[in-house]
Structure 1
Amino acid sequence: MKRISLYILLSLLIYSCGSSDQGELTGVKSKSEWHSKKPLGMVLIPGGSFTMGRQDEDVAGSLNSPTRTVTVRPYYMDETEITNAEYKQFVFWVRDSIVRTELALLSDLMSDDTNIVLEEYQFKNIDTTNMTPYEKYMMNNYGSIGDMDSPLQGRSLDWDPELVWNPSEFPDEYYSEVMDTMYIPLENSFNGKRILDTKKLKFKYSWFDSESAARGKGERKDYIKSKVVEVYPDTTVWVKDFNYSYNDPMHQDYFYHQAYDDYPVVGVQWMQAKAFCSWRTKIKNDFLSTKKNSTTVPYFRLATEAEWEYAARGGLNFSTYPWGGPYTTSDRGCFLANFKPSRGDYAVDGALYTMEAKSYNPNDYGLYNMAGNVSEWTNTAYNEGSYKMGSTMNPNVEIEDNHRKVIRGGSWKDVAYYLEVSTRDYEYKDSARSYIGFRTVQDFLGTTSN
């Protein structure tokens, strides 16, 4: 016991002699200062309190949005809905990851000491000579330095070699074998053209249910959840949403053709929007991990219903629309959003379907099309009594068993009532529609200065 006490005393003496804080309480200093950086394409929503809910006549008699004062924290929000081009980046990343993984696995399987198959597309070699002691320990004990369930087994894909998509240029039969698995079966093809099997494009992501963990019991692993999602948008929504209507050109071209790159993506289910958020967080943090003294960024996510309404109002607390109101046209008679002004008249506002994501004037926060164009998924479950159930601080009613998710903003096919910032609507999370898209938000760390 005396020997232990002596060690403690010596340790205290050594610390006191070597410390530069002169015995004062100075706190633990970070190696670098934190400066919040605005993500590309986002604007800062300053946060604050506002009167949420319907403040004028409830013409639909929904009685689901009584007024109350709530407060939300600051956050970044996409200035536009996620576009086809942005969502394609996600789809192509998933597609290329699957192809590169399959090529590398086949190379492992078919290669030997005398013949290396698909050498250009092999996994990157693990440099054991430059491994840290931690990495060596993980490889020796777990066979991986990351996800033990990953087929990569601690190795990484080589993204430098270009993938070949033209069948006439495939380098060999092994490459052709892998690519054959990515296309629809030959019997489902016509005109001699095979197309990508979009059902193969799946993205697995995981998250930690921190709220359930904080309120529940059990081990941490019990609250780690994962989901495998088909990422390709449902382009058939342009046909299925409208009976006895010719919309086949939109079905064929809206997501595929570059003419629509800057238009909002549609046909995306709620879980696909969540998967996109996870992927966006991953690619940013993967990039930052290559930089010295870098930190991870907060997760990209869907906005809560309260955050969405606060942002849509643009600082105009008692407004009917994002631009104020009470009219949907300017003093010159120009429409201020893309919607259906009257029965059967879709095009008088300048567009039959959607318009470019940066159309019309932004609201006072710099956000485009918070009314009209496409409705937007939020993170909140729909309940008629949500406003009575939710907190007045960062309210968000999440009910896991409730598959109805709040959508906001109205769309190109809706009448003006659905464009009002206080109007609530919902769709089932496993549904995809030609009039529902999304935009993402990211928490702002710290406080804003006025």
Structure 2
Amino acid sequence: MRFRASSLLAIFASILILASCGRGGRDVSSTTGWAYNNPDYGGFEYRSGYEQETGPGLVFIEGGTFIMGQVDEDVMREWNNVPRRVTVPSFYMDETEVRNVDYREYLYWTQRVFTDYPEVYRRALPDTLVWRRPLAYNEPLVENYFRHPAYSQYPVVGVNWLQANDYCAWRTDRVNEKILVDRGILELDVNQQNENNFNTESYLLGQFDGIEGRRPMRDLDPNRDTRRVRSDDGILLPRYRLPTEAEWEYAALGLVGNSYQERLTHRRIYPWDGHIVRNPDRRDRGQMMANFVRGRGDYMGMAGSLNDGGDITVPVRSYWPNDYGLYNMAGNVNEWVADVYRPLSHQDTEEFSPFRGNIFQTKVLDEEGMVVDKDEFGRIRYREESDEDILDRHNYRTSDNRNFADGDPISNIAPGEGWTESEHNSSTMYDGTPGTALSIGISDRSRVYKGGGWRDRAYWLSPGTRRFLDEREARDDLGFRCAMTRVGAPESSRRR
């Protein structure tokens, strides 16, 4: 077939018109008819087909509806997690608990960068005195557990809720900084000092410049050459954070493994099938599924046949992952979640994405809309965080121990005079007798933790059980893992 010259010219003109729609795509606004991503049309930028990248260490958790709450017998008679149906949006969660080596990396960065603010480093230190017991020889753990390489792959403990949140914020900034460095937008700068360090919020608000890289973002605005990355570019990841209680419980149950289409074939008491804590598979039959206390005084079984292989904690990739690929969602260490504890939260929270926090906070801005209040990390401070709160965080002891000499001299500061048993006792949320009233008051500082730990009986391994602790306190069987919000569609396009 032959084409006339006029037809060829028309086709060629159409190609030129499409090409003129700009660098980065041929999209045209259905509202104005102006081309996106084209400096000739003003340079409004629009990115279609966005798919969120999975951040380092995270696993995608596809959301859905489930029965949140305790489905086995409530032997504590607290009735603080009555079953109810809720929906949890898709999100991401750490494959494992945060390790000692992860937290030491955080401390190293903090000490290296905040040379003029040594209190930042001291405030971040885990409390290794949580290992001390009045009538037990735990000095080797006080001195070695956190820093010795033999325990690098073990979960960090002795970290309170506030410290865990600081770690999440630090991780967010380091991950996003590396994204910009890898893309050539920023030059790697290992000499950042004190408050002049990369912070995601400050960068997005135009309050951190850094060193421009070899491939800076080109600004399609015809009046500018380059620009910083913006939120609408989709390059920077959402922040790492503690999971909500609903997210944690949903991820622990891993219901993708015992459902068919929209039918749940059977409920789960634990993060695995069945009502027992031993592996039913032929190859591994009889092996413990988690690290917990089998009975009074039995933390690991008899020599030659250790039942769970762990006298205290175990490496974070021990045992079998649940159906979401998450390790140790039962046992090993309990884990902090974001929620404030209330015994009747199940009556008050929303059916979609339930969460109980404290207050809504806003950034402190000047007349030009610039943030005027930052902490020593260079992070945005919020109006509700007072100077008294910050001072209180510095001075509060995180462990339950009083009047003991320090073990690890790097990680501990001996408490002051005047501590008495009546002033501070938080070894348990109960007064010692199961089923009796709580021995400590519930406040806005009371934070939920879940999952059971190496000191707990099998009852606490059920994701539906819940306990609480003051956000300023720490334990030797309490750690954490991070989560991240998923933006966009609940189902990953890579799985469609």
- The answer to whether the superposition gives a TM-score over 0.5 is yes
Distance 1:269 1:21 in 2: 51
> AA paired with 2:120?
K
1:44 aligns with 2:65: no
Q: Which moved more, 1:356-365 or 1:295-304?
A: 295-304
Structure 2: 5+ residue stretches without partners: 1-20, 37-43, 186-216, 218-228, 230-234, 259-263, 302-307, 360-442
Aligned to 1:307: 247
SS of alignment partner, residue 283 of structure 1: helix
Aligned partner of 1:202 among 120, 130, 146: 120
1:253 to partner: Cα distance? 0.3
- Shift of the 435–22 alpha-carbon distance from structure 1 to 2, 3 Å rule, reads closer
Report the number of matched residues.
Answer: 309
Aligned to 1:344: 297
Aligned partner of 2:176 among 272, 285, 305: 285
Is the Cα contact below 8 Å between 1:94 and 1:201 reproduced in 2?
no
Distance 1:285 1:334 in 2: 41
Runs of 4+ that moved beyond 6 A: none
1:29 to partner: Cα distance? 5.0
> AA paired with 2:269?
T
Is the Cα contact below 8 Å between 1:91 and 1:201 reproduced in 2?
no
SS of alignment partner, residue 407 of structure 1: strand
The 5 Å alignment of 1:130-209 reads: 200-202=118-120
1:382 aligns with 2:300: no
Aligned to 1:372: 331
- Shift of the 24–32 alpha-carbon distance from structure 1 to 2, 3 Å rule, reads closer
1:299 to partner: Cα distance? 0.7
1:61 aligns with 2:92: no
The 5 Å alignment of 1:199-348 reads: 200-202=118-120, 230-239=123-132, 242-290=133-181, 291=183, 292=185, 293=217, 295-315=235-255, 316=258, 318-331=267-280, 332-348=285-301
Distance 1:23 1:305 in 2: 42
Aligned to 1:97: 113
Is the Cα contact below 8 Å between 2:106 and 2:167 reproduced in 1?
yes
Aligned to 2:452: 410
Distance 1:201 1:29 in 2: 43
Aligned to 1:82: 98
Identity of aligned residues (%): 39
1:24 to partner: Cα distance? 5.4
1:56 to partner: Cα distance? 2.8
Structure 1: 5+ residue stretches without partners: 1-17, 103-181, 183-199, 204-228
Distance 1:444 1:231 in 2: 28
Distance 1:249 1:263 in 2: 15
SS of alignment partner, residue 230 of structure 1: helix
1:324 to partner: Cα distance? 2.1
> Greater relative contact order (Cα 8 A, min sep 6): structure 1 or 2?
2
* TM-score, normalised via structure 2 length: 0.59
Aligned partner of 1:354 among 313, 317, 337: 313
Q: Describe the superposition over 1:74-127 as per-residue Cα deviations: whole angstroms up to 9, x where unpaired.
A: 11100100000011111000011123xx4xxxxxxxxxxxxxxxxxxxxxxxxx
Is the Cα contact below 8 Å between 2:336 and 2:480 reproduced in 1?
yes
